[in-house]
Amino acid sequence: MIFSRRETLALGLGAAALGVLPFRVNAATEDAIAEFAGGADVGEGGVTLIAPEIAENGNTVPIEVDAPGATEVMVLAAGNPLPGVATFEFGPLAGSHHASTRIRLAGTQDVIAVAKMADGSVVQTSALVKVTIGGCGG
């Protein structure tokens, strides 16, 4: 049985488990993570990023971040001209450490979420989002 690349990806990882892909980050992204972490080691686990496996249009891609116990979550798009997307700071009246928004992705790339926990530890995760180029420009 021959699988296409897409099927292999889907089989091997499942849509929700894309976070285990190795990071492909550039210098600007690494710098942004290092600055956010403030010298802390960046671990994994404790932060969830939900993003579509395939985005129909890169102009408006819905994403959600969830990091119980986090004070701040930074979202980066490693393949955009500028990697910054948003930083969510949760205040004392936050009902959860969960937020959703809609973002722009210049092409297929890893979206990265980095969470700073109340104890100062830092964790990150990522999700590969494939951005399709439509057939119809109209």
Partner 1 sequence: MADNVKPRVRAPRSTAAGETHTLKTLISHPMESGQRKDSDGNTIPRSIIHRFTCEFDGETVIDVTMEPAISTNPYFEFEAKLPGAGEFVFTWYDDDGSVYTETATVEAA
Partner 2 sequence: MNIKAFLAVTGAAALVASGALAQQTGPDDDRLVVNNEIEVVTDAPAPDHMEFVRTIYSGWRFRSDETQSLQMDDFDNPAFVFVDQAIDDWNAEMGANGESCASCHEGPESMRGLRAELPRWDEDAGEVYTMEMYVNECRTERMGLDAWGWNSQDMRNMTALLASVSRGLPINVATDGPVRAAWEKGKEIYYTRFGQLELACANCHEDNYGRMIRADHLSQGQTNGFPVYRLKQANLVSKHNRFRGCIRDTRAETFSIGSPEFIALELYVASRGNGLMVEGPSVRN
Q: In whole angstroms, what is the distance from residue 48 CA to residue 5 CA? A: 25
Q: Which among partner 1, partner 2, none contacts residue 84 (Cβ within 5 to 8 A by kind)?
A: partner 1
Site string for partner 1, 65-84 (x = CB under 8 A): ------------x--xxx-x
Please say whether the beta carbons of 84 and 31 come within 8 A.
no
- Residue 134 is a binding residue for partner 2 (CB under 8 A): yes
Which residues are bridge partners to 29 per DSSP? Answer: none
Q: In whole angstroms, what is the distance from residue 113 CA to residue 117 CA? A: 13
Sign of CA dihedral 26, 87, 64, 132: negative
- Residue 56 is a binding residue for partner 2 (CB under 8 A): yes
- Residue 107 is a binding residue for partner 2 (CB under 8 A): no
Chain centroid to Cα 19, Å, comes to: 8
Q: How many CB atoms lie within 10 A of CB 70?
A: 25
Q: Which is nearer to partner 2, 37 or 55 (CB)?
A: 55
CB of 59: closest distance to partner 1 in angstroms? 6
Q: How many residues bind partner 2 (CB under 8 A)?
A: 25
**Which chain residues interact with partner 2 by CB under 8 A?**
1, 4, 6-7, 10-11, 14-15, 52-57, 59-62, 132-138
**Which chain residues interact with partner 1 by CB under 8 A?**
59-61, 77, 80-82, 84-96, 98-105
